[in-house]
Structure 1
Amino acid sequence: MPAQGLGVMPRLRYLIDRARRIDVGSVFERAREVRDQHGKAVPLVVVDMLWSAASKNVGFQDYVDYDFAMLTAAERATYMTHPVSNQLSQRYDAEPYRHIFHDKLEFNRVFDEYLRREWLEVTAGNAAELEEFTRKHGTIIAKTRMGQAGSGVKRYHAADVSDWAGFHSGLFERGEVVIEQVISQHDDLAAVCPGTVNTTRVTAFFDGQKTHILAVAQKFGRGEVSDQMSFGGFYTMLDPETGHARSAGYDSHGHVHVDHPDSGFRIADFQLPLFDEVVAFVDTVARVVPQIQYVGWDIVVGPDGPVLVEGNWGAGVYENKPSVSGIRTGNKPRYRAAIGF
């Protein structure tokens, strides 16, 4: 097992960096959100947020998203937060290997057999290959090599292209050089939102022998190219033992979705299909680059099994929202049991 503790210096460096970049206006904006939802006085919320950030490693958005204003100190202590996740990433994801997860082209090369879809790289001289690929699949996904939270991801249709040389040069000039076949998703996912490929975020830790499932979140889109919140998406936490939804859906903008806004599917009724296969699949991909131990894996369950979308070495955090789920505890105990901090 890894050594105990995260160390003092990484935490100090993180706090110093946060202090340099603190946006007082955004702190008060978040405090007003808390006031509107929980009826707490803004000055008291601001003080509590700042104290929680400095002494408990709680991000300002964490405080809002996980309803800390309605939780006891003991309940708050069970929640995973972004500052702690950041420290785990810095400690357990070896820097020389992080580029594999930053660079989507490099990621596809390394994890090719687990992508379970066709893809190609746009290069200076392969316009004909791009045309053949796009015509074959009808619709393609184009990605820039670097990007996160859905940035740099676009969807193109062969029927809309009349100038293939211009299409190729445009992709190349914009850096949209990673071209992929659209993933086919399981009918149970399509029943919720057929217009977007709905990904499952599995946060996991590989200790060198065993892969530990720390948290599982199911994201749902709104018909756009991505299910990220910047595209109108939202998520619900799944039970990490069964894959069943724990509550209605929610996002970081105060929106709660009891039913999917487009399909009407009741989110709390969702069961991730082939859940045991997903767990086994994550264990397999976690061993490909064992030097990156702490990863947020984005998986799509296809008709025939799990498909790998990407891995995030800066895993981020997905947690229960008490005001929506009624669950007043988070996943931090699972992290601690697996990682030993």
Structure 2
Amino acid sequence: MLYVFSRFKECQNRFEKEKRSLWWKGVFFVDWIIAFFIHGASINDYFAYRFFYLRRSGRKEFITFRRHKKIQAICNPTLTDRELCRDKACFNRHFSAYLGRNWLDVSTCTFQEFCNFFLNYEVVFLKDISSFRGIGIKKLQSSDVNVEKLYQQLQTKKEANYILEEPIIENDELASFHPWSINTIRIVTVYNEKTDKVYLMNARIRMGNNKNNVDNFHFQGIGANIDIQSGVINSLGYDMFDNTYICHPLTGKQIVGFQIPCWEECKLFVEKAARMIPTVRYIGWDVVIGVNGNFSLIEANDNADHDFQQLYNKGLWKEYRKVLSKIH
């Protein structure tokens, strides 16, 4: 119970800027409990979607924690199939035609192959195969690495396996938002294997911030909504601390109204990727739009965050229910 109170206070401080009396905090807590039982709203859901301002009809519009679990139960019931998304080495092998970059499995490569990879690239990314949210990713300058020592260290770590990847050259327009990281496009799909139709449910741009080398939203990154039809950013930028941005705070590049380049081609790229793993029907795809209109698939998230899709946009539960009714 102490954890619940602590989490409630944390989310209230993050999302609710107005200072409330102890009485109002108590009212909100009771209201959250009601929202939890009726709508399956987590504490984060309650504050992120401003449930304290919404009536029951408004709350019904949002994907909550419980509704998100329902989406996964219908679309992604088999855990073994979902592992293909979670193990980076397995993912890279399965989607080799979509990666757009060279990579190396450290657990199976020889020392000479390991050395050659660092000789070929000035910068190399080292990734834990089971990492998520940008955790466990290291950007290495090849000239600074003692290759023999690193190889021995990685080979003796039995509890974890690693891959090496070459850096990706991003489209100049997108890179200018935050040149210290790759800025990815997250497109969430639901696949109907009966009709072979891929539904594009939501699209977001993710930008790095504070000169971090990853753009993950949970690592101080910035997100913004993309209109599925046009590819235009149609919301403010926002971060997990509920700060909002018209322009990127470091580079000053305007976020609102930006046209994502090669948008129609990007959507087709994701649709093709979704058909490569038909038993995992709900996936959030992270894509880099590169130079010359080429694409690189970074990863597939079988449990793509529901809050990231709806913040500063609208509730998407109605849209998901329509699609789920066709595949369930």
Q: Report the TM-score, using the length of structure 2 for normalisation.
A: 0.89
Structure 1: stretches of 5+ with no match in the other structure: 1-19
The one-letter amino acid of 1:203's match is V
What corresponds to 2:300 in structure 1? 311
Q: Secondary structure at the match of 2:309?
A: coil
Distance 2:278 2:208 in 1: 31
What corresponds to 1:11 in structure 2? none
Matched, 1:144 2:125: no
Distance 1:227 1:331 in 2: 24
Contact 2:236/2:256 (8 A) holds in 1: yes
Q: Tell me how far 1:218 sits from its aligned partner.
A: 0.9
What corresponds to 1:192 in structure 2? 177
Contact 2:133/2:219 (8 A) holds in 1: no
The one-letter amino acid of 2:35's match is S
The one-letter amino acid of 1:314's match is N
What corresponds to 2:208 in structure 1? 221
Superposed counterparts of 1:124-203, under 5 Å: 126-161=110-145, 163-173=146-156, 175=160, 177-203=162-188
Distance 2:60 2:87 in 1: 34
Distance 2:48 2:122 in 1: 39
Contact 1:28/1:46 (8 A) holds in 2: no
What corresponds to 1:8 in structure 2? none
Superposed counterparts of 1:9-28, under 5 Å: 23-28=4-9
Distance 2:178 2:220 in 1: 12
The one-letter amino acid of 1:129's match is E
Q: Tell me how far 1:125 sits from its aligned partner.
A: 6.1
Structure 2: stretches of 5+ with no match in the other structure: none
Contact 2:14/2:241 (8 A) holds in 1: no
The one-letter amino acid of 2:188's match is T
Q: Work out the number of aligned pairs and report it.
A: 316
Call closer, same or farther: CA 1:42–1:154 in 2, change over 3 Å: same
Superposed counterparts of 1:1-341, under 5 Å: 23-37=4-18, 41-93=24-76, 94-123=78-107, 126-161=110-145, 163-173=146-156, 175=160, 177-208=162-193, 209-222=196-209, 223-303=211-291, 304-317=293-306, 318-321=308-311, 325=312, 329-340=314-325
Give the root-mean-square deviation of aligned CA atoms.
2.2
Q: Secondary structure at the match of 2:187?
A: strand
Distance 1:320 1:71 in 2: 15
Q: Secondary structure at the match of 2:265?
A: helix
Q: Tell me how far 1:199 sits from its aligned partner.
A: 1.1
The one-letter amino acid of 1:306's match is F
Q: Tell me how far 1:170 sits from its aligned partner.
A: 2.8
Distance 1:116 1:21 in 2: 47
Q: Tell me how far 1:83 sits from its aligned partner.
A: 2.7
Q: Secondary structure at the match of 2:256?
A: helix
Contact 2:99/2:298 (8 A) holds in 1: yes
